[in-house]
Amino acid sequence: MAKELQISLSDIQGTGKDGRILKEDIIRFKSVKSTPSKFSSG
């Protein structure tokens, strides 16, 4: 799933047993990453 979304697993913090990355972690990471920042640089 991460490969399909072009997400590096090393960027995701796993919440499963022993830090394993779950499907929910990938979905959460994608939604956070695609959300525009509320702060502007300037």
CB-facing half-sphere around the CA of 26: CA atoms within 13 A? 13
Query: Are 26 and 16 spatial neighbours (Cβ–Cβ below 8 Å)?
Result: no
pTM, full prediction: 0.71
Quote the pLDDT of residue 25: 96
The Cα–Cα gap between 1 and 7 comes to 9
Domains in the chain, CATH or no CATH each: 1-35 (4.10.320.10)
Question: Going residue by residue through the chain (42 aa), what tens digit of pLDDT does each one get?
Answer: 889 989 999 999 999 999 999 999 999 999 987 777 666 555
The Cα–Cα gap between 38 and 20 comes to 30
The Cα–Cα gap between 13 and 26 comes to 9
State the greatest distance between any 2 C-alpha atoms of the chain, in Å, as a whole number. 41
